[in-house]
Amino acid sequence: MNNSREFARLVTVAAIAAGLGAWMPAQAQAPLSAAAARAEHDALVKTAKAETGGITFYLSAGENVGKRSADAFEAKYGIKAQFIRLSGIGLLQRYAAEIDSGTAAAELFLSGNTSIADDWVKKGWLEPIASAALPVVRSGEFPAKFNRGSSALVQVTPWLFFYNTDKVKGADIPKDWPDLLNPKWKGQFLLGDPRTSDAYTDLWALLLDKYGESFFTRMRAQNPRVVNGGPALVQALAAGEGAVAIPQVLPSVLVTKDKGGPLETVTPDYTTGVEIQVMISARAKSKHFNSARLFANYIMSPDGNKVLNSDPGGITLYDNSGLPKQYEAPKPGTAARKDHIYKLLGLQ
């Protein structure tokens, strides 16, 4: 038994060194020893550096997230990484169009719209994280609970609401989601259009399950103005076009607040969040497959994940004590509820 396991491990190491991609699923093996994990990591670095041209990745998080992660990766490994930021549905549409036509421009992407991961693995578009033989996974260092099989969770950013400090003060400051339904905010309510990203659906589904359809009835009575996209929502509130806005994540608000925008945020104890996951293009669709594997391995490692999540409010997967007290992970299947939610919000 031990001989068989050792033989399988050696075959795996050899496959990685040769860049063949003939790997065993991570969950089928016992964790590697520290020495074996270092050997696999070194072999992966070698095969990645043999690929010329660097990598391109798409992401839905802020540009500062992409830049610092790309810069840190290049500084560590000497492999150039460039990124293209695309929001919500636009990222998935572009990636799908490119990869369906032959080869994607991006070797991997980071997105909060992850309901497609399993389906795209079945289509042969993605290499499952579980079978990509990433050293950080095979060593057991990456927390197993964040390995989704087709993808891996690398960032959690809780949903919150925010307000214009010139218009909202003192006792009027809302503390929880139901406080937004106070009639005083009628005509002063800005709503990020949930149709721009399926990630919004996770929050609305949570609120629907918690407060029922009456919550949405009262929200429609606020006559909210729908704003297309998260950055536009922040800019509109900072410009005084409303008093309160929903929903948003802290890093996006801080970009404007730090420049003097009259904004403040409230993160309720009960919330969910944008859970960014990394997905790797399938070998047959990728120009720099091993470089993509190395980048995924980096941002899933303690050091790389800290870089990825170094914005104020960022929560590394290796220390999630900063999550709100009643944080709930997005529930599977919420994307299927979006039409009903759009109707409840008065968008259909």
Answer CATH for 2-155+276-308 from 3.40.50.300, 3.40.1410.10, 1.10.3720.10, 3.40.190.10: 3.40.190.10
Residue range(s) in the chain whose domain bears CATH number 3.40.190.10: 2-155+276-308, 156-273+324-344
273-281 and 126-127 beta bridge pairing: antiparallel
Q: CA 289, CA 284: separation in Å to the nearest integer?
A: 9
Question: Under 8 Å CB-to-CB from 343, ≥6 apart: which residues?
Answer: none
Tens-level pLDDT at each residue, the chain (348 residues)? 444 443 333 333 333 333 333 333 334 457 889 899 999 999 999 999 999 889 999 888 778 888 999 999 999 999 999 998 887 678 888 888 888 787 778 999 998 877 788 999 999 999 999 999 999 999 999 999 899 999 999 999 899 999 999 999 999 999 999 999 999 999 999 999 999 888 899 999 999 999 999 999 999 999 999 999 888 999 999 999 999 999 999 988 988 999 999 999 999 999 999 888 999 999 988 989 999 999 999 999 999 999 999 887 778 889 888 889 999 988 878 888 999 999 999 998
Residue written as tokens 């927390």? 143
Options 3.30.930.10, 3.30.70.20, 3.40.190.10, 3.90.79.10; CATH for 156-273+324-344 is 3.40.190.10
Q: Which amino acid belongs to residue 94?
A: R
- Cβ-in-10-Å burial (0-12, 13-18, 19+) of 279 comes to buried
DSSP bridge pairs for 192: 227
**How many DSSP H helices and E strands does the chain contain?**
13, 10
Q: Which of 71, 72, 75, 79 is nearest to 44 (CA)?
A: 79
Q: Which amino acid is at 136?
A: V
- Other C-beta atoms within 10 Å of 157: how many? 24
- Cα distances (Å, whole numbers) of residue 259 to 63, 140, 233, 238, 241: 16, 42, 16, 11, 18
Strands (E), 193-262: 225-227, 244-249
- The two structure tokens encoding residue 143: 């927390």
